[in-house]
Structures are given as structure tokens and as C-alpha cells.
Amino acid sequence: MTQLIESIAALRAALEPTRRAGRTIGLVPTMGALHAGHVALIERARAECNVVVVTLFVNRLQFNQAADFELYPRTVESDLAACAAAGADYLFAPPQQEMYPDEPRTFVEVEELTEGLCGAFRPGHFRGVATVCAKLFHIAGADRAYFGEKDFQQLAVIRRVVRDLNFPLEIVGVPTVRELDGLAMSSRNARLGAAERAAAVVLWRAIEAARRAFADGERGAAELLAVARRPLDAEPLARTEYVELVDPETLAPLERVEGESRLALAVWIGDVRLIDNAPLK
Ligand code: AMP
């Protein structure tokens, strides 16, 4: 059974005995509309921590488009059931008023890492993410927090916040869970119409095409990116925002892929923005 908690005070009170007994708390921050990707995070936390707290908060600070915030799916009842099935102890789902009783005047801002990729197209997004995660880390007093590799830049940004600000917790990255055809699971997939859903697989096709070229010996980033762009350009329902090859830690663009790398892309399918990424090596 998962207990639904809506206030910060109630969550702190519930977790106090756990912390005092030296038992570990695992945190899984989400914006709800839980799917198998979220479940993988919860199950990993369940396997590694004594108490598992899933958080559900659609954080308006990280939305740079009002419509995206308003249209974001809200499904608390089924999320609670998914948490119970995956073995979470608590679902912390605070109202907006609880997290932002006043207009916030303190923010966590990560430089450099947030300039490229999604950061270039979503001004303020990572500031919102870093700020709400800092709040959630403090509220829960977690020992570990679980994030998906699906949001690769987010994972890098959060790791950096924890390192720079000495948060006493470990960040765990969990591999991306995909649909059978390769589409990365996302709460936004529910907004795709049938034709758009079929077209959305093109993100994975782009990754696979670049991986094949890499396996065949291509190492030039420009050449690999051109290969990735081919299926995207051929899909009439897709509008590519970016495709980049970056260093997985610094997120700096690569010219050649000799060591570790990450291909990352953002593509609009209709009016839904999808992202994906994968290592070439
Ligand atoms: P969201 O609810 O979309 O903010 O995501 C909450 C957490 O789930 C983030 O750490 C995401 O990276 C992670 N996540 C979302 N989709 C997936 C997926 N398909 N596979 C693994 N993790 C995911």
C-alpha cells in the first residue's frame, strides 16, 4: 500500500522515524502520469532503499509554455495505483500552494551545462528543475534520488547541483524504458494522435541510423549527425529542433567520436515536443 501525502509537514513527520533509525530513503521525483519508465525508477529505488518516496508535482517553474503546463496530464488515482504496484511507500503529491506559497525569489541556476541542447530552446527550464529538485531533496532528506537517462541533460544538471552544493545524497541514473518500436516512454506520448504516434518512432530511427554508421567506422560528428537527420527530414510530421553529439559529462559538442558520446535530439511531432538520447559508444 502506498500512502498519499499532500503536505510537507506530514511527509517530514512520516519520514522522521526512518531517518532517526538510520534507514535509507529513496526519492523518485516525477510529474505524474506514470508509465513503465517511472516504474523502472521506483523498482530500482525499492531494490536499493528501505523507504521509497515517489513525488508527483507538475512544477510550473520548469514550463516555458503555459499551454504545455495546462495540458500536462494529471492522473493522481492511477498514479497511486502504479506506485502501490511498484512497491512505493509514499506518494508525495503537494498542491502548488504547498510548494510555492509565495512567488519564489530563490533559484538554483546551473551555468554552462544548461546552455546547449534543451536549455537553448527552453529558457528557464533547468532553473525550474534544479530549484524544485533542491526543494524536494530538502523536504524528503533522501539518501538517493533516481532520475531517468531519458532526460539526459536534466540528469547531468542535477548531478552538478548535488556536487556543487554538497547535497548529502547520491544521484542514480536509470536507463531509458522504450515502447516495443523503440519510442522512449513519456507522459507526453499520450497527446499524440494515431498518425503522430506512428511518426514518433523517427527519433529512435535517427539514433539507430547514427549507431549503424558509427559501427561501420564513421567517427566524424558532422557525418554522423547528417546520417541521423536523414530519417527526421524524411518524416513530414516531424520538425527537428536539434540533433547533437555531445560529451556525456560536460555536454559539450563533439567534433569526433573517439571516447564516450551521447547523441541527443528534440523533435516536434505536431504540437508535442519529444526528446531522446543514446550513447553511440
Ligand atoms: P517526468 O515525470 O517526465 O518529469 O519524469 C520523471 C522521471 O522519470 C525523470 O527522472 C525522467 O527522466 C524519468 N523518465 C521519464 N521517462 C522515462 C523513460 N522512458 N525511461 C526511464 N526514465 C524515464
Q: Rg of the Cα trace of the chain? A: 19
Residue 278 bridge partners (DSSP): 263
Query: What architecture is domain 187-276?
Result: 2-Layer Sandwich (3.30)
Q: How far is the CA of 86 from the centre of ligand 1 (A)?
A: 15
pTM: 0.97
Domain with CATH 3.40.50.620 in the chain: 3-174
Give 3-174's CATH code, choosing from 3.40.50.150, 3.40.50.970, 3.40.50.300, 3.40.50.620: 3.40.50.620
Cβ of 187 less than 6 Å from ligand 1: yes
For ligand 1, atom 5, the nearest C-alpha belongs to 30
Q: How far is the CA of 165 from the centre of ligand 1 (A)?
A: 24
Q: How far is the CA of 277 from the centre of ligand 1 (A)?
A: 13
CA angle (259 as vertex; 254, 261 as ends), nearest 5: 50
**Angstrom distance (rounded) from CA 217 to CA 195:** 35
Segments in the chain forming alpha helices (H): 8-20, 36-48, 66-71, 76-86, 96-99, 117-121, 125-140, 152-164, 194-199, 202-215, 221-234
Q: How far is the CA of 40 from the centre of ligand 1 (A)?
A: 9
Cβ of 185 less than 6 Å from ligand 1: yes
Answer yes or no: 38 catalytic: yes
Cβ of 148 less than 6 Å from ligand 1: yes
Closest by CA position to 209, among listed 182, 184, 189, 186: 182
Cβ of 261 less than 6 Å from ligand 1: no
**Residuewise pLDDT in 10s, the chain (281 residues):** 999 999 999 999 999 999 999 999 999 999 999 999 999 999 999 999 999 999 999 999 999 899 999 999 999 999 999 999 999 999 999 999 999 999 999 999 999 999 999 999 999 999 999 999 999 999 999 999 999 999 999 999 999 999 999 999 999 999 999 999 999 999 999 999 999 999 999 999 999 999 999 999 999 999 999 999 999 999 999 999 999 999 999 999 999 999 999 999 999 999 999 999 999 97
Cβ of 41 less than 6 Å from ligand 1: yes
For ligand 1, atom 7, the nearest C-alpha belongs to 30
Domain with CATH 3.30.1300.10 in the chain: 187-276
Cβ of 30 less than 6 Å from ligand 1: yes
Q: Which of 35, 38, 125, 138 is catalytic?
A: 38
**Angstrom distance (rounded) from CA 264 to CA 127:** 20
Closest by CA position to 245, among listed 221, 228, 266, 223: 221
Q: What is the enclosing helix (H) or strand (E) of 75?
A: none
Strand, helix or coil for residue 90: strand
Q: Answer yes or no: are the C-beta atoms of 128 and 62 closer than 8 Å.
A: yes
Q: How far is CA 192 from CA 199, 205, 236, in A?
A: 9, 18, 15
